[in-house]
Amino acid sequence: MRLIELRLENLRNISSLELQLDPRINLFIGSNGAGKTSILEGAYLLSHAQSFRSGQINALIGRGAEHFSVFARVERHAGPVQIGLTRAAGSWSAKVNNDDASSLGRMLREYAQVCFEPGTHALISGGSEERRRFLDWGAFHVEPEFMARVRAFRRALLQRNTLLKQGCRDLELDWWDKEVARAGESLSTSRSDYFHRYSPALIEAMACYLPELGEASTRYSQGWPEDMSLEQALKETRGSDQARGFTSRGPHRTDWGIQFALAPQREHLSRGQEKLCALACVLAQARCFADSRGEWPVIALDDLSSELDVAHQGIVVDTLSSCGAQILISAIDIPACIRAAGVPARVFHVEHGKVRTLL
Ligand SMILES: Nc1ncnc2c1ncn2[C@@H]1O[C@H](COP(=O)(O)OP(=O)(O)OP(=O)(O)O)[C@@H](O)[C@H]1O
Ligand SMILES: [Mg+2]
């Protein structure tokens, strides 16, 4: 999958930008605050409808403007597609091949991009919500029914939580326990199926980026005890759920992780190893996508040279260029791994939200 053209309008400090991208490596260089990350972020929005940076999505709208929009021409095995996304007045509107009536979910299906950036280490050091969201993005792209299952579960969970807060009677809760259990088991099955496809790619990536930590293994917890059905688990904690006013067990509590023979606890990892671990998670997600869809997603590496040492930068760029993935890299200057190896890349210089093609 490749971005051929990317257009951004009123995105942070970029008022208007049109880029023709190289099918392989695209490097965005420039000083701090120039707008490099915003370009990667713009493309990422087309595949996630959220930024990889924290904060309100409306904060991405350029100062003084009322909307931002992103448009791309994408080449895929399934054929070319044009996608567009606009944020205005607190809501999204999406377009696929100029069809204004496209739903956001429909648009998100058309383009896939993963991103490694300074905040990605939260996959290792952060809370379980981050890891669930990450896993769900992968499952969404390989399992057509996944989004419908997420929605069904969220609806049922919301109802049960509302009833718990209202202190309603057991009879009503019996019915909603069944609903939450039905939707929850179905979501959980899809999610754990995806995790079991993802897990070997993850272990392989860990062996490539962190061989010094010994054998890696994964763990997965579904969000309630493995030896009971979700309905039983909900019944068992009903009393405490009623006291607290929310549902304490279910797929909204799923978590996963990785551990190493020589670093069994997260606290054993250095900050840099944590970043490499997060990088391996992202690249394994890309590999898993490629294995099931037959083509790589676009891979964005933000602030590459400040996140990884030169040797690891070299491994990433070599591995990704040999598998033919399109890469978008941002850095203050041309990273040593690209300069030294003479890796062919299109280089863009970014300054005050404007872009000049250098090479
Ligand atoms: N809503 C907004 N409107 C206008 N400008 C904004 C808005 N949000 C952020 N900015 C500015 O946009 C610029 C782009 O930031 P960006 O993070 O893309 O820079 P960068 O080139 O990646 O810098 P660094 O090397 O520091 O990571 C910054 O100067 C920032 O202050
Ligand atoms: Mg940046």
Mean pLDDT on 226-231: 98
Q: How far is CA 312 from CA 94, 189, 235, in A?
A: 37, 36, 49
Determine contact, residues 20/326, Cβ cutoff 8 Å.
Answer: no
Give me the pLDDT at residue 167, please: 85
Atom of ligand 1 nearest to the CA of 35: 18
Atom of ligand 1 nearest to the CA of 28: 21
The verdict on residue 269 lying in a domain is yes
Give me the pLDDT at residue 6, please: 98
Give me the pLDDT at residue 307, please: 85
CATH number at residue 232: 1.20.1050.90
Higher-confidence position of 297 and 322:
297
Domain end among 247, 274, 294: 294
| CA 35–ligand 2 middle distance (angstroms) | 7
Report d(CA 49, CA 85) in Å as an integer.
8
Per the prediction, the chain carries an average pLDDT of: 95
Q: Helix 170-209 crosses helix 146-166 at what angle (to 10 degrees)?
A: 130
Report d(CA 334, CA 296) in Å as an integer.
24
Give me the pLDDT at residue 266, please: 85
34 lines ligand 1 (CB under 6 A): yes
Give me the pLDDT at residue 42, please: 98
Higher-confidence position of 185 and 320:
185
Tell me, yes or no, whether 14 and 30 share the same domain.
yes
Tell me, yes or no, whether 166 and 272 share the same domain.
yes
Tell me, yes or no, whether 197 and 61 share the same domain.
no
Higher-confidence position of 221 and 267:
221
Tell me, yes or no, whether 216 and 355 share the same domain.
no
33 lines ligand 1 (CB under 6 A): yes
**Ion ligand 2 — residues with CB < 5 Å:** 37
Report d(CA 166, CA 4) in Å as an integer.
53
State how many domains the chain has: 2
pLDDT-based confidence at 345, cuts 50/70/90?
confident
| CA 219–ligand 2 middle distance (angstroms) | 33
Give me the pLDDT at residue 341, please: 60
Q: What is the DSSP letter of 32?
A: T
| CA 303–ligand 1 middle distance (angstroms) | 13
CATH number at residue 354: 3.40.50.300
The string of DSSP letters for 187-200 reads HHHHHHHHHHHHHH
Q: What is the pLDDT of residues 163-194, one digit of tens each?
A: 999 987 788 899 999 999 999 999 999 999 99
Per the structure, the complete domain to which residue 139 belongs is given by: 127-294
Tell me, yes or no, whether 250 and 324 share the same domain.
no
The verdict on residue 285 lying in a domain is yes
Q: What is the pLDDT of residues 111-164, one digit of tens each?
A: 999 999 999 999 999 999 999 999 999 999 999 999 999 999 999 999 999 999
Residue of the CA atom closest to atom 16 of ligand 1: 35
The answer on pLDDT for 22 being more than 70 is yes
pTM over 0.75, yes/no: yes
Tell me, yes or no, whether 45 and 185 share the same domain.
no
The verdict on residue 317 lying in a domain is yes
Domain end among 294, 319, 334: 294
Q: Which residues lie below 8 Å from residue 333, measured CB to CB, with a gap of 6+? A: 29, 305
Report d(CA 293, CA 106) in Å as an integer.
17
The verdict on residue 118 lying in a domain is no
Give me the pLDDT at residue 132, please: 97
Tell me, yes or no, whether 221 and 323 share the same domain.
no
Tell me, yes or no, whether 269 and 338 share the same domain.
no
Tell me, yes or no, whether 329 and 269 share the same domain.
no
Tell me, yes or no, whether 6 and 59 share the same domain.
yes
Report d(CA 5, CA 43) in Å as an integer.
10
35 lines ligand 1 (CB under 6 A): yes
Q: What is the pLDDT of residues 86-100, one digit of tens each?
A: 999 999 999 999 888
Q: What is the pLDDT of residues 321-333, one digit of tens each?
A: 889 999 999 999 9
The verdict on residue 25 lying in a domain is yes
Q: Please count the other Cβ atoms lying within 10 Å of the Cβ belonging to residue 311.
A: 9
42 lines ligand 1 (CB under 6 A): no
The verdict on residue 121 lying in a domain is no
Tell me, yes or no, whether 63 and 179 share the same domain.
no
